[in-house]
């Protein structure tokens, strides 16, 4: 063989191996950030509301905060974020190999980091900070203490949320691809199968739900051949994974579907960039989730789904049915440790096709087009890429109850997912001009009104929303509530003071949550805000000396209603 040909062969071999195996990750670089074996309450790619879980959740040993969290590898602290929700207290460590590790929901930081953060909070006069220290400031060795496990931010119990990201682009990657290990010999659990009747342009016509028969460990089936009145169908599986020693239902890693032993659809949860994580709403059966039936993984890809987790096969997993020939469908589900479960069943087309009528809707739009709806006192604009597939959208209106300053406008269905914000404009009726500043676009769901904010212009209130449903105009003239939880005029010996702050209604869309500030003797003081507990906490330090003081705490809601708490106290 000529040298040139050898080079060509080598180059194509390299290309093939990269293509089939995907990028390689270093498997001996990172260690778990806890100095013990761990149990997980969440896996990478697990299905969560509006996103794929971007890391692993490590359970605390005894259900309490305070366990030591250490650096997964050598590096430096590149970012420190403090927020009342989300990741709470979070540390980001950049490593010289091009990856970043993230440690979230920490109870508190290591002493030197905590002092730096507090200084910045006083400098910026803000509790929520997003800091990027110089690379030389906090250099860390592998295993060095960085903070303590906790429950800060949007966390429902003490745990450590741990991520590994590619530093460039901050793309979260499955941490178990880096050689980290958790004992797991339990096979994934497969709950139910759903079959969707699909039109040629993949509009959903009907859906059927089937319980599965477990015939052996990891083996599931449906006894009878499915006979469906549809030209083409898609499938979805409700499936989760348990691990050794923990009751938690975590996410699966991989799914592969074959029809008559021919690969038709597969996905693997290796990487999900934040820019695409909301496509979860297209990956799952959103309507089933809305109806509280849990998370179903679709085994076919909707046209507007831009996730990169799928392999490309003909028809994207959509299966044509034949009346004279039943096909064998086999769906295999894997966890990251290679435990496998499989469901196998047969399906054919039924002679009765009466269920295959596309339901009529007043409007229709798909993922590529846009749609503007104009009705009496109501407008709605759905932009390109807001929907995931060809979708029927209905509109109707009815009189609304008292306290509403417009009719109730029903647009679409709460079972239809929206990827992007759409705009809703409603013309207020009989709204006194003095109340205009306090009026908002509200979404009514089971008697509860949610404030979606909105601006008044040209006779209409316009708000951005990412849910279809029932919208109306309402006003909010009620101030937030401030309730002292740990406070009295005699604070001698107290380590902290606490106040609960609450509002009269929930917010959605782009409406703003409660904003607050606290001053003692006219000077700004740090109040840590835990949004899930509605709690403000000030920890006393040398900034407030012994003696008499006055505290002023102000809280403001989205519509500018203000509450004030003003008292004197002795420390
Ligand atoms: Zn998590």
Residue 440 sits in the same domain as residue 497: no
CA of 48 to the centre of ligand 1 (A): 10
CA of 106 to the centre of ligand 1 (A): 12
The SS3 of residue 19 is helix
The pair of structure tokens assigned to 33 is 């950030």
Residue 395 sits in the same domain as residue 419: yes
Task: Give the confidence band of 15 by pLDDT, cuts at 50, 70, 90.
Answer: very low
Q: Which stretch of 249-263, 328-342, 391-405 has the lowest confidence by average pLDDT?
A: 391-405
Q: CATH number of the domain that 522 lies in?
A: 2.60.40
Measure the CA–CA gap between 45 and 177, rounded to whole angstroms.
13
Tell me the per-residue pLDDT of 435-491, one tens digit each, with 9 for 90 and over. Answer: 999 999 999 998 899 999 999 999 999 999 999 999 999 999 999 999 999 999 999
Q: Is residue 23 part of a domain?
A: no
* Alpha helix (H) residue ranges in 92-240: 111-124
CA of 93 to the centre of ligand 1 (A): 17
Tell me the per-residue pLDDT of 137-164, one tens digit each, with 9 for 90 and over. Answer: 999 999 999 999 999 999 999 999 999 9
Task: Give the confidence band of 5 by pLDDT, cuts at 50, 70, 90.
Answer: low
Residue 380 sits in the same domain as residue 350: no
CB atoms within 10 A of CB 365: 22
Mean pLDDT, the chain, integer: 94
Measure the CA–CA gap between 286 and 251, rounded to whole angstroms.
17
For residue 154, the 8-state DSSP code is S
Q: Work out the average pLDDT over 479-504.
A: 97
Select the more confidently predicted residue: 16 or 400: 400
Q: Is residue 16 part of a domain?
A: no
End-of-domain residue from the set 429, 448, 475 = 475
Q: Work out the average pLDDT over 368-379.
A: 96
End-of-domain residue from the set 450, 475, 500 = 475
- What are residue 463's DSSP bridge partners? 424
Measure the CA–CA gap between 234 and 205, rounded to whole angstroms.
11
Are 190 and 212 spatial neighbours (Cβ–Cβ below 8 Å)? yes
End-of-domain residue from the set 475, 500, 521 = 475
The pair of structure tokens assigned to 110 is 């290591």
CA of 56 to the centre of ligand 1 (A): 6
Q: Work out the average pLDDT over 534-547.
A: 97
CA of 155 to the centre of ligand 1 (A): 8
Tell me the per-residue pLDDT of 301-354, one tens digit each, with 9 for 90 and over. Answer: 999 999 999 998 889 999 999 999 999 999 999 999 999 999 999 999 999 888
Q: Is residue 156 part of a domain?
A: yes
Residue 420 sits in the same domain as residue 286: no
pLDDT for 156: 92
Instruction: At 114, give phi and psi (nearest 5°).
Output: -60, -40
Residue 216 sits in the same domain as residue 351: yes
Measure the CA–CA gap between 146 and 263, rounded to whole angstroms.
46
CB atoms within 10 A of CB 282: 22
Listing DSSP states for 499-539 in one string gives: EEEE-SS-B-TT----EEEEEETTEE---EEEGGGTEEEEE
Q: CATH number of the domain that 88 lies in?
A: 2.70.70.10
**Phi-psi map region of 292: left, alpha, beta (phi>0 left; psi -120 to 50 alpha):** left
Q: Is residue 30 part of a domain?
A: no
Q: Is residue 9 part of a domain?
A: no
Q: CATH number of the domain that 471 lies in?
A: 2.60.220.30
Residue 224 sits in the same domain as residue 350: yes
Per the structure, the count of domains in the chain is 4
Q: Is residue 32 part of a domain?
A: no
Residue 153 sits in the same domain as residue 46: yes
Say yes or no to pLDDT of 13 above 50.
no
Residue entry with tokens 């903070």:
147
Residue 214 sits in the same domain as residue 324: yes
CA of 83 to the centre of ligand 1 (A): 15
Residue 345 sits in the same domain as residue 202: yes
CA of 173 to the centre of ligand 1 (A): 13
Select the more confidently predicted residue: 254 or 355: 254
Measure the CA–CA gap between 179 and 338, rounded to whole angstroms.
14
CA of 162 to the centre of ligand 1 (A): 7
Residue 420 sits in the same domain as residue 519: no
Select the more confidently predicted residue: 40 or 360: 40
Residue 540, domain extent: 481-570
Q: Is residue 440 part of a domain?
A: yes
CA of 519 to the centre of ligand 1 (A): 34
Residue 110 sits in the same domain as residue 48: yes
Residue 252 sits in the same domain as residue 166: no
Q: Is residue 369 part of a domain?
A: yes
Say yes or no to pLDDT of 359 above 90.
no
Report the half-sphere exposure of 107 (CA within 13 A, side-chain side): 14
Instruction: At 118, give phi and psi (nearest 5°).
Output: -65, -40
Q: Alpha carbon 385 to chain centroid distance?
A: 19
Residue entry with tokens 């001996």:
28
């Amino acid at each position: 063989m000529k040298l040139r040909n050898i080079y060509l062969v080598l180059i194509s071999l390299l290309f093939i191996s990269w293509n089939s195996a995907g990028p390689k990750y270093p498997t001996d670089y990172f260690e778990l950030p806890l100095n013990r074996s761990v149990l997980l309450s969440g896996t990478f790619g697990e299905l969560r509301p509006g996103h794929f879980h971007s890391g692993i959740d490590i359970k605390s040993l005894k259900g309490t905060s305070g366990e030591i969290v250490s650096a997964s590898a050598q590096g430096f602290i590149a970012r420190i974020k403090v927020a009342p929700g989300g990741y709470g207290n979070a540390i980001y460590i950049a490593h010289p190999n091009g990856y970043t590790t993230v440690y979230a929901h920490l109870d508190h930081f290591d002493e030197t980091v905590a002092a730096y953060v507090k200084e910045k909070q006083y400098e910026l006069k803000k509790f929520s900070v997003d800091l990027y220290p110089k690379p030389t400031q906090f250099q860390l060795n592998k295993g060095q203490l960085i903070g303590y496990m906790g429950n800060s931010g949007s966390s429902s119990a003490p745990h450590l949320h741990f991520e590994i990201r590619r530093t460039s682009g901050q793309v979260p990657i499955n941490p178990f691809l880096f050689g980290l290990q958790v004992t797991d010999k339990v096979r994934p659990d497969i709950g139910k199968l759903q079959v969707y009747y699909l039109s040629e342009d993949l509009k959903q016509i009907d859906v059927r739900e089937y319980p599965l028969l477990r015939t052996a460990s990891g083996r599931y089936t449906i006894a009878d051949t499915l006979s469906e009145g549809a030209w083409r169908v898609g499938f979805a599986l409700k499936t989760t994974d348990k691990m050794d020693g923990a009751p938690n239902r975590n996410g699966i890693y991989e799914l592969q579907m074959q029809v008559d032993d021919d690969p038709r659809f597969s996905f693997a949860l290796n990487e999900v960039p934040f820019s695409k994580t909301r496509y979860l709403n297209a990956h799952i059966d959103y309507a089933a989730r809305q109806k509280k039936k849990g998370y179903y993984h679709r085994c076919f890809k909707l046209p507007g789904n831009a996730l990169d987790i799928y392999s490309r096969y003909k028809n994207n997993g959509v299966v044509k049915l034949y009346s004279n020939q039943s096909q064998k469908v086999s769906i295999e589900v894997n966890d990251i440790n290679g435990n496998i479960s499989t469901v196998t069943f047969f399906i054919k087309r039924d002679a009765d096709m009466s269920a295959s009528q596309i339901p009529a809707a007043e409007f229709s739009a798909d993922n590529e087009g846009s749609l503007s709806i104009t009705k009496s006192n109501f407008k709605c604009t759905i932009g390109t890429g807001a929907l995931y597939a060809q979708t029927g959208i209905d509109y109707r209106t009815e009189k609304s109850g008292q306290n509403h300053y417009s009719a109730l406008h029903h647009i679409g269905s709460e079972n239809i997912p929206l990827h992007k914000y759409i705009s809703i404009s409603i013309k207020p009726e009989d709204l006194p001009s003095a109340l205009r500043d306090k009026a908002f676009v509200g979404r009514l769901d089971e008697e509860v009104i949610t404030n979606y904010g909105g601006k008044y212009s040209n006779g209409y209130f316009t708000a951005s929303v990412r849910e279809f449903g029932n919208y109306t105009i309402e006003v909010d003239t009620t101030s937030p509530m401030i309730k002292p939880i740990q406070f009295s005029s005699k604070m001698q010996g107290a380590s902290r003071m606490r106040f609960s702050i609450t509002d009269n209604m929930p917010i959605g869309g782009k409406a703003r949550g409660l904003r607050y500030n606290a001053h003692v003797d006219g000077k700004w003081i740090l109040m840590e805000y835990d949004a899930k507990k509605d709690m403000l906490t000030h920890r006393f330090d040398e900034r407030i000396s012994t003696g008499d003081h006055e505290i002023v705490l102000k809280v403001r809601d989205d519509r500018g209603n203000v509450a004030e708490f003003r008292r004197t106290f002795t420390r």
